[in-house]
Structure 1
């Protein structure tokens, strides 16, 4: 089939690479416009745009998918199908109607669980034992279209969202190619999603990523892992922000008040609503990441000082 691939972040690259190696023709890619990055806030192309440029593909960067110029160009390319992985923008009916086999999304959950922008983060945050990926036909409503294929993936006890994304991006790329193969062969038909089991996964914001030290240790652990690498868990200490890497619950440690800091056996511990957690890597505002124990030795917190 003749394809136009839509995607933006790094997690979409395994799927694009797999399609470029497949029997299908990738005629162009659609990605989000260049965005400011880094401290200098200079404009940079998306990872998908960079990979597409390396492959010599036409790159479309509409500000909105309803832009007439974009729709006209998409019609001119005349794709049979448009595979999508983390594109990051809503698609209007005018765009959805162009390819004869529609737009097929690779979504990182077992639908109808975790519809929305952050399915992997919510799977980690809520302590799911198993998640996965689904390919489905995009409709105008949120992640509700009929499903072509599904795979499952265990969530390991120490997985961060980044860890899980890495595995799902690889296995999901294979699922997407096999889905398109089945559509091209006429051997695969999508099935409606179950009406039961719907859950929503809205984007986790920076405010969502702030650690509440009065929460149980298991909740703190899940939040930090869910927000690693993005949007990045954080707390405050002495009125400045401190970013946190994954923590480790220590159920056999002596209890500490929520947010209280102690050093024990070379470990940096923080109190929660239950037992303490051990800090891993921390990044004080304006500084480089460092081992938490080194940071704590330099900070020398008083007994009554608290994080958060």
Structure 2
């Protein structure tokens, strides 16, 4: 089966590689990805991870916008009969979906119909879900509402970040996608319509959303930090004394404080900091939360205890 692959970020690369390697069932004739984008401090144009992998594999790359006139003709010229989509990042109109006779199939990182939308892994962690997974479904006009071809389930680790879970699902999902598309090719697929109902939507997490609210319970703070790691990055404003200007402090890793730690302060108001030789704690609504690694404004990430020793924190230091 001649296959078009559409994807952009790192999490899509395992699926591209798996399908390209399965020459018994598929011929990946082209890769559709987002155009090169400026990155880094120098804002140099850089190809997407999927484009880099496609070039390495010797697969032609298409960077045209599917909304542009003439895209359907360009698509048909590839000879593709079906398409696999993983985190491509653009909405496909019905005319594009109809252009491939065997359809477009998406690998989505949630147990649909729960968490339709842009940030399913992040929202699952933030909501305290204990299970996540991957779903392969046929793309239709609705947002992640098409009939399901295959699903797999994984447990979410107690301390797992969104980045760690997404990396794990990207690997597992590549095999799920490969298996599901094989059933489409050989005619054994049994699509199941998604049940109707009101389900949580996985809206994109913004930088403003990632602002840590230490007045929340410790478990909620932990979920927020894990959900926002590595992107867009959980952060707070650090005020080191009563009259000091605030600075941005990113929290890269943390955990609910160990209540058996002898140096743990008995009471710590939300947002206020307490420091020992090996620990940095910040107060929440229900108790202390330990900062394990941080990234101060304008610096690299480091252990929180190392940062605190050089930060000259005053007795009124707090995060807000």
TM category (shorter chain) comes to: over 0.9
Write the distance in 2 (CA, Å) between the matches of 1:29 and 1:306.
Answer: 49
Q: Hey, what does 2:184 align to over in structure 1?
A: 183
Unaligned segments of structure 1, at least 5 residues: none
Could you tell me whether the CA contact under 8 Å between 2:146 and 2:194 is conserved in 1?
yes
> TM-score, normalization: structure 1?
0.97
1:301 shift after superposition:
2.1
Write the distance in 2 (CA, Å) between the matches of 1:151 and 1:196.
Answer: 21
| Greater Cα shift, 112-121 or 279-288 | 279-288
Q: Hey, what does 2:280 align to over in structure 1?
A: 268
Write the distance in 1 (CA, Å) between the matches of 2:111 and 2:175.
Answer: 16
Shift of the 110–197 alpha-carbon distance from structure 1 to 2, 3 Å rule, reads farther
SS at structure 2 position matched to 1:271: strand
Q: Hey, what does 2:317 align to over in structure 1?
A: 305
Q: Hey, what does 1:42 align to over in structure 2?
A: 44
Q: Hey, what does 2:233 align to over in structure 1?
A: 232
Q: CA RMSD in A?
A: 1.2
Write the distance in 2 (CA, Å) between the matches of 1:275 and 1:303.
Answer: 19
1:281 matched to 2:282:
no
Could you tell me whether the CA contact under 8 Å between 1:78 and 1:99 is conserved in 2?
no
SS at structure 2 position matched to 1:68: coil
| Greater Cα shift, 297-306 or 179-188 | 297-306
SS at structure 2 position matched to 1:149: strand
> TM-score, normalization: structure 2?
0.93
Aligned pair count? 307
Q: Hey, what does 1:8 align to over in structure 2?
A: 8
Could you tell me whether the CA contact under 8 Å between 2:29 and 2:79 is conserved in 1?
no
Write the distance in 1 (CA, Å) between the matches of 2:210 and 2:90.
Answer: 23
Write the distance in 2 (CA, Å) between the matches of 1:280 and 1:38.
Answer: 26
Q: Hey, what does 2:243 align to over in structure 1?
A: none
Write the distance in 2 (CA, Å) between the matches of 1:255 and 1:34.
Answer: 51
Unaligned segments of structure 2, at least 5 residues: 240-245
Give runs of aligned pairs for residues 7-156 of structure 1, distance below 5 A.
7-22=7-22, 23=24, 24-62=26-64, 64-156=65-157
1:65 shift after superposition:
1.1
SS at structure 2 position matched to 1:277: strand
Write the distance in 2 (CA, Å) between the matches of 1:58 and 1:32.
Answer: 14
1:160 shift after superposition:
0.4
